């Protein structure tokens, strides 16, 4: 099914005004410089997403006070306008609440996917248009292309497979693709840093963000504080047959595949193989029980192709670090699909995203539901 695509956005003739999401990191910094050199009229937009105390600066997070200052400094050096947008209320409602509620329901959330869908694409794109911008650019490692036969816009993997971030972008609406720019899509990460260094951008050696931006310390402590009187309740560890093995602290503190911190011993190492919210039970088993032959995926967004009428074969990633597994995807009703793996896959986790690829093309993706392979 692999399609021929064209990805060179430098050939786009209609240079105009572009809004750039300025995180304060090296990627958005060099993206700003490259866009200017390509002839774009660049406006820097920095999103204030949450309120962390000033003393809780973290070098490996994003959206802190320091990041705002770094973004402002880069924009000043490049001579482009800089604006701070307060999205704290929307971020709390769309991302933080989703994060906490997912754990309450026995799901393992992916806040970065939700943030990209609701804040960095939809909401920021709306604001970009208010600034008179025709495009929105970000420092993501991804590409936008066109199907050479149909002319359809497509979301494509980045050239640097080690930094490819399309897994977090699958929920982008297909209609938004023509308005998006990813200036770093053809670059290696090391090349981006070197370009920033040679241009004298102070962020060139800044560490990458690798944490959930609104949490300091252990996410379990955040959940305990966020839930308040609705904090997760202790319950039973059970095996797949329902035999009680011990007591757990609360569903929110466990995820499929977890081995450490269980406090339960047995003849073989125990792993979390499932969560049962209705019974408030955490299911433990051995490593073999972690493997699934299939899964149901809900809320599917087809970003690069129309919703398929029949089955298709694709490479499916069940988490960001997953290399992908070949599977047959069968469309169902109401945005659901059934995925059948060609070989069993380990630690398929309800609540995480499943993303479908055809070569470099991101076909679409959705959210893994409880149900199969010991997941319910």
- Residue 115 is a catalytic residue: yes
Question: pTM of this prediction?
Answer: 0.90
Bridge-based pairing of strands 135-137 and 180-181 is parallel
The residue ranges of every structural domain in the chain are 15-139+183-198, 232-285, 291-368
CATH topology of domain 15-139+183-198: Rossmann fold (3.40.50)
How do the pLDDT tens digits run along the chain, 376 residues long?
Answer: 555 455 544 444 457 999 999 999 999 999 999 999 999 999 999 999 987 655 444 444 455 557 889 999 999 999 999 999 999 999 999 999 999 889 888 899 999 999 999 998 889 999 999 999 999 999 999 999 999 888 999 999 999 999 999 999 999 999 999 999 999 999 999 999 999 999 999 999 988 876 688 887 778 778 777 766 567 789 999 999 999 999 999 988 899 999 999 999 888 899 999 999 999 999 999 999 999 999 999 999 999 999 999 999 999 999 999 999 999 999 999 999 999 999 999 999 999 999 999 999 999 999 999 965 433 3
Q: Give me the catalytic one of 62, 75, 133, 213.
A: 213
Task: Write the CATH number of the domain with boundaries 232-285.
Answer: 2.30.30.280
Are 232-285 and 291-368 equal in CATH topology?
no
Q: Give me the catalytic one of 62, 63, 75, 115.
A: 115
CATH topology of domain 291-368: Elongation Factor Tu (Ef-tu); domain 3 (2.40.30)
């Amino acid at each position: 099914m692999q399609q021929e695509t064209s990805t060179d956005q430098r050939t786009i003739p209609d240079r105009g005004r572009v809004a750039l999401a300025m995180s304060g990191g090296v990627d958005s910094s060099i993206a700003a410089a490259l866009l200017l050199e390509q002839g774009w009229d660049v406006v820097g937009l920095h999103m204030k997403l949450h309120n962390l105390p000033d003393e809780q600066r973290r070098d490996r997070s994003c959206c802190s006070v320091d990041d705002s200052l770094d973004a402002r400094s880069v924009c000043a050096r490049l001579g482009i306008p800089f604006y701070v947008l307060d999205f704290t209320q929307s971020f709390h409602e769309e991302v933080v609440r989703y994060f906490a509620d997912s754990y309450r329901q026995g799901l393992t959330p992916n806040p970065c996917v939700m943030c990209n869908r609701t804040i960095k694409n939809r909401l920021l794109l709306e604001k970009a248009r208010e600034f008179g911008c025709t495009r929105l650019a970000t420092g993501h490692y991804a590409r936008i292309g066109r199907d050479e036969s149909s002319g359809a816009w497509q979301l494509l993997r980045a050239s640097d497979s080690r930094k490819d971030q399309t897994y977090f972008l699958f929920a982008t609406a297909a209609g938004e693709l023509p308005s998006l720019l990813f200036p770093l899509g053809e670059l290696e990460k090391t090349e981006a840093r070197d370009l920033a260094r040679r241009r004298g951008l102070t962020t060139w050696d800044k560490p990458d963000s690798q944490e959930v931006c609104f949490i300091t310390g252990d996410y379990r402590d955040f959940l305990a504080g966020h839930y308040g009187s609705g904090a997760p309740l202790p319950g039973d560890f059970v095996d797949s047959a329902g035999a009680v093995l011990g007591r757990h602290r609360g569903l929110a503190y466990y995820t499929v595949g977890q081995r450490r911190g269980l406090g339960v011993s047995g003849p073989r190492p125990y792993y979390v193989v499932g969560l049962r919210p209705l019974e408030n039970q955490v299911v433990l088993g051995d490593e073999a029980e972690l493997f699934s032959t299939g899964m149901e995926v809900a809320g599917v967004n087809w970003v690069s192709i129309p919703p398929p009428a029949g089955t298709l074969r694709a490479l499916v990633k069940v988490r960001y670090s997953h290399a992908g597994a070949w599977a047959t995807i069968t469309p169902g009703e109401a945005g659901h699909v059934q995925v059948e793996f060609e070989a069993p896959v380990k630690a398929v986790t309800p609540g995480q995203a499943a993303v479908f690829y055809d070569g470099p093309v991101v076909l679409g993706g959705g959210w893994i539901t409880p149900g199969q392979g010991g997941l319910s």
